[in-house]
Amino acid sequence: MKKQSLILLSVLLVLSAFLTACGGGNDSDNNTAGTDGGKDEQVLNLLESSEIPSLDSTLGTDSVSFNVMNNVFEGLYRLGEDDEPVLGMAAEEPEVSEDGKTYTFKIRDAKWSNGDPVTAHDFEYAWKKALDPDNASEYAYIMFDIKNAEKVNNGEVPVDEAGITAIDDKTLQIELETIVPYFKSLLTFATFLPQNQAFVEEQGDQYGLEANTAIYNGPFVLSDWKHEQSFQMKKNKDYWESDVVKLKEINFNIVKDTSTRVNLYETQETDVAVLSEQYVDSYKDDPNFNTRLRTSTFFLRLNQKNEVLANKNARKAFDMAWDKEGLVQVLLNDGSIAAYYLVPDDFVTGPDGKDFRDTNGQLGEYAPEKAAELWKTAKEELGIETASLELLNYDSENSRKVGEYLKEQLEANLEGLKITISQQPFKQKLEVEQKGNYDFSYAGWGPDYPDPMTFLDMFVTGSSYNQTGFSNEEYDKLIQDAQSTLLEDPEKRWEALLKAEQILMEEQAISPMFQDGSAYVQREYVKDLYRHSFGADYSYKWTYIE
C-alpha cells in the first residue's frame, strides 16, 4: 500500500498505503443489505472511512485508491484467488526471451468504457508517464526493474529510452535490466495499469478527480462519486469477461465512526463489519466472527529533520520506551501482534524455505529503564533538559486512542518529553508526510508484491517514501545489489535483505508498532470476496450474494 496502500481492514486506523501495500490504508467494511431483494439484485453495500485521493494510476499512493483502481481498471494481470496472478488485458502468457529479460505480451480484444479499444499503446503511454520525472510519480520506483527506467526517472535519458515498446496495437514488449522472479505478480500493481492517452489529455489536470473524468476497462465502472460522502461502482457491460461478474452494483458510504458501523450490522443493513476492541468480546462466539493476521506493518516514522530525532540515542530511547504488547493486547484486541521488525511474519520464505521473520527474529525490545538511560544521554548530547515533539496522526476515533496511549507511555518513561498530537484527514496527512513537515507520525505499509523488497526499498536515500531523512550507505548498497546483480543469486540476495532490515532497526529509522490483525463478522451469503495479502486489498470481480 503499500503499496497494500495500503485499504486496511480495521476500524482502528485510517492509513495510507499501507497501508501503501502499498503505503498504509484505512478502515473498510464490506457490507451488503441482508434482504432477499438485495440478493436477487446482486447489490453490495460497502463502507469506507476516507475519500479516494486519486484515480490516476500514475499518481495513486494509498490503499483506498489502489482498491478502487483494482476493480475499475485492469492491467496485464490481476490477482485472483490465493493471490495468484491471472490473465487480465494479456490475451495469453507472454513470450519470454531465453535470457529471461524480455517479455512480449499480446493484448486481448477489450474496450474502454467509452468504446475505444484497449491497445498496447495505452500501456506504453501510462508506464512512460509514470516514469517521466515531470509527472513526479511517487511510485515510479516500482518500475525500476525495466530497462533504463531509473535513468529515465532521474532525468538522465529521454523517456523513449525506457524498455517499454508498443510494437503494434496488440503487441507490448518489455525489456528488463535483469531477471525478476516475481515480475508477473509485480504487474498486478496499480502503477502498471493502462491509460487512454487521448482521453487523459482531453481531461488535463482534472483526469481521475471525478467519476466522469476517467474511463474504465475493469469489471466495474465508477458511476458516481460524492466527495467525502460516498461513491458507487456498477458492472461494466463492456468488460471482456462480464459474464463472470455477478454483482450489478457496489455502493460505498464513507463512515468514520466505529459504533455506526457496528450498528449497521446489528440492524441487518450490512453483511460485514470490522470490529474494534470494544466489540470483539461481544462477537467472538458468533459463528460469523473471523480474525486474520494481515501482512501490513505499522510503525512510527521518526523524522530526522527534527534535531531531537536526528540523535540516534533519542530514537533508540523512543522505541524502547513504550509497551507494544500492551497496545495489541488491550487497545487493539483484534488479532494484531506486537512488531519489533518491518517485514511481516508469514509473508515470504527464502531459498532455504524459512520465513523471513523466523530467520531475522525480533529486532528490538520493550526496556523502559534502558530507554531512560539512552534518553538521558541524548539530552546531554543535545544540550537540552526538555523536548517537545508533535505526533502526526489519523483523524479516526481509534487512532486518537492509539495516539493518546503513545503520549502517555512516552511522557511517563522519557523525562522532560512533551508530546502533542495533530490529527489530520487521510489525504492531508499524506501531504504533510510527503513534505516532511512533521516530527513523528503514525504510519503503516502493506506489500505491493510478494518480496521483502516491497518494504525495504522504501528507506533508501532519496526514495519518495523515505520521509524520515534516514540515509545509510551500507543499507543503500545492500538494497541496490538486491535489486540488480544479486537477483540471479537468490541465497546472497536473501542475506542482503536480512542484513538491510537489521541495519534499519539498529539505526532506528522507525519505531515498529504492530503487524495488523483484523477482527470482523461476515454473513454467510457473501461469497468469493477475495482478500489479498499484497497489492490491492480486495477483488470484487468474483464476489456474489448467494
| Measured distance CA(403)–CA(447) in Å, rounded | 24
Q: Edge-to-edge, what's the strand order for the sheet holding 43-48?
A: 28-31, 43-48, 249-254, 230-235, 220-226
Domain boundaries of the chain, sorted by first residue: 75-109+119-195, 293-517
Alpha helices in 235-333 (DSSP H): 258-266, 277-283, 312-320, 324-326
Q: How many of the other CB atoms lie within 10 Å of CB of 115?
A: 8
Per the CB < 8 A criterion, the answer to whether 512 and 339 are in contact is yes
pLDDT at 277: 83
Query: Class of the 75-109+119-195 domain?
Result: alpha beta
Specify the pLDDT at position 244: 98
Task: Check residue 32 and give its pLDDT.
Answer: 39
Residues 156, 273: Cα–Cα separation, whole Å: 49
State how far the Cα of 531 lies from the Cα of 389, in Å rounded to an integer.
37
What pLDDT is attached to residue 30? 44
Q: pLDDT tens for residues 109-126?
A: 999 999 999 999 999 999
Cβ atoms within 10 A of the Cβ of 499, count? Answer: 15
CA angle (191 as vertex; 188, 193 as ends), nearest 5: 65
Extract the residue ranges of the chain whose pLDDT is less than 50.
Answer: 1-37
Are 387 and 420 within 8 A, CB to CB? no
Q: Where are the alpha helices (DSSP H) in 465-528?
A: 473-482, 490-506
Give the architecture-level CATH label for domain 293-517. Answer: Roll (3.10)
Nearest 10 degrees: Cα torsion 161, 167, 169, 173: -70
CA 546 from chain center: how many Å?
A: 30
Contacts 24+ apart (CB under 8 A), 415-418: 415/372, 415/375, 415/376, 416/379, 416/384, 416/385, 416/386, 416/387, 417/375, 417/386, 417/387, 417/388, 417/389, 418/386, 418/387, 418/388, 418/389
Tell me the sheet residues that pair with 387.
417
Q: SS3 of 194, please?
A: coil
CB 63 within 8 A of CB 13: no
- pLDDT single digits (tens) 292-305: 999 999 999 999 99
Q: By C-alpha distance, which of 13, 8, 17 is closest to 433? A: 17
From residue 71, alpha-carbon distances to 38, 105, 249, 279, 430 in Å are 20, 22, 12, 30, 23
The model scores a pTM over 0.85: no
Is residue 170 helix, strand or coil?
coil
| Grid coordinates belonging to 46 | 460497502
Establish how many alpha carbons lie within 13 A of residue 114's alpha carbon, considering only the half-sphere containing its beta carbon: 13
Beta-carbon count within 10 A of 201 CB: 11
Q: State residue 15's pLDDT score.
A: 34
Contact between residue 233 and residue 72 where contact means Cβ atoms under 8 Å apart:
yes
